[in-house]
Each structure stands twice: as structure tokens, then as C-alpha cells.
Amino acid sequence: MKNEVKVAYLLFMLAVIGYLFKFALNVFLARHLAASLYGDYSVAIKILNILVTLSLFGTNVGANRFFAKYLRLDNKARATNYIAWNIKLLSLTFLITFILAFAAFGLMLLLHHLGIRDINRYHLAIYTLWLVPFSAINTLLISFLLSTDRIFISSMFSNIFKYLFELTLFIIVVLFIDPTLNNTNIILVLFFSFVLLSTLSTLSMNKEVLLILETGIKKLLKTSLSQMDWLRTSSRLIANNIIFSVTCTIDLLAVEIFSSNESNVGLYAAILTIISFLWLIPTNIYQGLKPNLALMLSDINKRSELQSKLNRTNLVAFILIGIQGFLIIFFSREILLHFGPHYIAAQPALIILTLGVCFSCIARIAPVLLVYAGDEQIVLKWSIVELLLMFLLVIPATYYFDIIGTASATTVVLIIKPFVTILIARKTLNLRPISIF
């Protein structure tokens, strides 16, 4: 069996284990919170992901593109300079985040003191401002692990350990501290899990990378942020990433704001939890290609080798997406029952969105190829189109048809960009992104 297929299967197995912990975590929370509160938790996590994406300014993807390339070329000086620039940029974005968090908390304290609004009655998303730097650091460290070919370890930290730690901490809180989960408990659990993951990620790095990180920190003050190649690319990547994050959040926010029933946000959150396994397939299956992707795309002589690797990886991905999509649809009622009896009402919307996500996952590698080839501006344009379509279609569909409308409109939008970028990648890169032969 070819190495790419072995790596793909191993990454998929890790993704399955990680998803099982994620599913268990969400079922646990759904059964210990009202559907509306569980929905608020899901919205808060989505918003946290957007804020983390903003604070990273595209550097987590840039690490896989630039840092990994410098390491493979054994250009330690360039790698060190990139790390110093990266850390200096993040120190600025983290400072802005902390200022916003302090300002928000100060306003909340003032309103509480004046008796206008109790400090415990705000949406959970407000409290996630404090978590942004800690979650962002964890995300970046995992990117560094991936850049050094520690593919399996990075996958374990981003999936398995993350949800395992959160589930364990929530169980401890419910059993020994407070059986009624509140905003404070949830934020503290997330905080400790991020700190623990960041610590373990750092300890898992090899000595060479740790030395580069240490040297980069020492060069921090002498480093200028005006490194135009890195800054220009990061600007494009942050635009792509933030648009993608917002696009992935609009459907849930639309249900939160425009749904006729407050509990529907919990039902839709359960749907997103179930289909998130499908997103894990392309994310993890193609992980084995990413460390060498930028280097292979930059060398025209390596295109045939890349196409061969892509074909084998695609075959594995498509088979797994098809099987998993069928299982979700066939056992949709039984899966929803794990969240609670009233979650069965979400079955039609789950089936519709599953079909859309399956088609989108099949074409998900095309935008990745364009980004690693330096054509992120093309992906950005179509990401903007996708975002506009989400606003134009999903919000009115939710208002008139509730979560059935949300799922249907989201399905239409999800299919467009990946398949358009397939055509673009075929033309500009001379690659067949979804070929299996």
C-alpha cells in the first residue's frame, strides 16, 4: 500500500476517535443544558473560532506554507526570521484582543453596579474574548507541529485531546463542583483545556524547532512587521480564513436570530455536530500532503508526482465521504435521539445538509491547492461570493422556512465555491483536483 494511502487511513482513524469524543462532549452538554442554552454554547464556540482566526491573521496557514518550506530547504536563518515576525505580529493582535476584553468586562461591571443588567445574564459569546489568545496560541503550535512533519501528533492535539480534555473537565465540574453548568464554569473549562493543550504541544516539538522558536523570540525587538511577502500573504490568508469562518457561522446565527422557536438553535447545533464528522474527512485525509504541498507546487517537474499522490488520497477521501454520508442519513433518527427525544424534529434538515456537505467535501481540496500555490486572491474572490450568497439566501430562508430553509439554502451555497475552484485549479495549476486515476 502506498504511503499516502496509509497516512490517509491513519489520519482518518484519528479523526474518527476525535469525532467520537466531540460527539460525546456535545451529547453531554445537550443533556445538561436546555436546548436554547446548548445552542448559545454552540454559537459562542463559532464566534470564538472567528475571533481566533482574526487574531492569528493567517499565520497558522502561513506556518504550513512558509515555515515548513524553510525547514525543508534547511534555511534555518529564514525560518527564525519568519518565527520572529510571526510572534511580533501575534503580540500586537493579542494586545488588541485583551484591550477589547477588558473594555467589555469593564462595561459589564459598570452596568451590573448600576443595576441595569446582571453580569451573569450576558450571552456566553461575550466571555469568550478572554479565551482568544490562549486558543490562538494552541492553534498556532499545532500548525508548527504539522510543519515539522509531526502529522499524527498534530491531528491528535487538534481533535482527540482537545475534546477528551474538555469532556473530562466538564464531567468533573458536574460531578464534584456544580451540577448546573453556567457561563463561568464553561469558560474555565475551555481555558484550562487550551492551556493544557498548548503545554503538551510545546513539549512535543523537536529540539530544532524549539531552538528556532527561542531564537525567534530573542530577535523579536529587532524584527520589523513590514516584511511585505509574509504580510501580503497573511493579509490574503486572514481575509480568506475570516470569510470562511463567518460563512460557516451564518447559518447557526440565522437560526439564533430569525428562527420562530428559541430551541431550534439547539436542534441546528446538534445537526452541525453530527455533520462535522464529514468535514473532518478532507481536513485529515489531505493533511499528509500539506507539509510538502507548497514545495511541490512551486516545481513544475513535480506536478505528475503530486497528481499521483492526489489521486490516491482522493480515492480514500471519496470512499469515506460516501460511506459516512450514507450512514448519517440512514441512521439520522437514531443519532439525533442521543441528544434527546425532542431533537428528532431536526431529522429532515439533517438529511438535506448532509447531502450538501458531502458534495462540498468532495471538492474541498481545490481551494487548498490554490492557496498553497500562491493564488489565495482567487480563493478570496470566491469566498466573498460565498459569503454574500449566505447572507442573501440563508437569512430569508430561515425567516420563512425555519431550519429546513436554513439547511436547504446552506446546501446550495456550500456546493458552489469548491466546484468553481476545481475548474480554476485545472486551468491554472494543470492539475485534476478530484481525479482518482
Q: 268-317 pLDDT, tens per residue?
A: 999 999 999 898 888 878 877 776 777 788 777 777 888 888 888 888 88
Please give the Cα distance from 162 to 19 (Å, whole number): 11
In 3D space, the residue among 366, 355, 350, 372 whose CA is nearest the CA of residue 417 turns out to be 366
What's the mean pLDDT in 361-390?
86
Give the pLDDT of residue 208.
Answer: 81
Residue-wise pLDDT tens digits, 210-240: 888 888 888 777 777 666 567 677 676 677 7
Instruction: Give the chain's end-to-end CA distance (angstroms, integer).
Output: 16
Concatenated DSSP letters of 236-271: HHHHHHHHHHHHHHHHHHHHHHH-SSTTHHHHHHHH
Residue-wise pLDDT tens digits, 179-214: 888 888 899 999 999 999 999 988 888 888 888 888
Query: Which strand (E) or helix (H) includes residue 374?
Result: none
Residue 436 lies in a domain: no
Residue 80 lies in a domain: yes
Residue-wise pLDDT tens digits, 13-47: 888 898 899 999 999 999 988 888 888 899 999 99
Residue 198 lies in a domain: yes
Nine cell digits for residue 281: 474527512
Residue 416 lies in a domain: yes
Please give the Cα distance from 316 to 282 (Å, whole number): 10
Give the pLDDT of residue 252.
Answer: 93
Can you give the length of the chain in residues? Answer: 437
Residue 401 lies in a domain: yes
Confidence of residue 170 (pLDDT cuts 50, 70, 90): very high
Q: 62 pLDDT exceeds 80?
A: no
Distance of CA 176 to the CA centre of its chain: 31
Residue 437 lies in a domain: no
Residue-wise pLDDT tens digits, 85-95: 778 878 888 88
Is residue 155 within 8 A of residue 72, CB to CB? The reply is: no
Confidence of residue 104 (pLDDT cuts 50, 70, 90): confident
Considering its fold, how many domains does the chain have in total? 1
Where in the sequence is the domain holding 250, given as residue range(s)? Answer: 3-429
Residue-wise pLDDT tens digits, 327-349: 999 999 999 999 999 999 999 99
pLDDT higher at 420 or 112: 420
Dihedral in degrees, nearest 10, Cα atoms 297, 299, 301, 307: -10
Q: 1 pLDDT exceeds 50?
A: no
Residue-wise pLDDT tens digits, 236-257: 667 777 787 888 889 999 999 9
Residue 435 lies in a domain: no
Radius of gyration for the alpha carbons in the chain, expressed in angstroms and rounded: 22
Residue 411 lies in a domain: yes
Is residue 51 within 8 A of residue 280, CB to CB? The reply is: no
CA distances from 251 to 42, 58, 111, 117, 411 (A): 12, 23, 31, 29, 10
Burial of 412 per CB tally in 10 Å (0-12, 13-18, 19+): middle
Confidence of residue 125 (pLDDT cuts 50, 70, 90): confident
Phi, psi (degrees; rounded to nearest 5) at 75: -100, 75
Least confident segment among 77-81, 212-216, 231-235, 410-414: 231-235
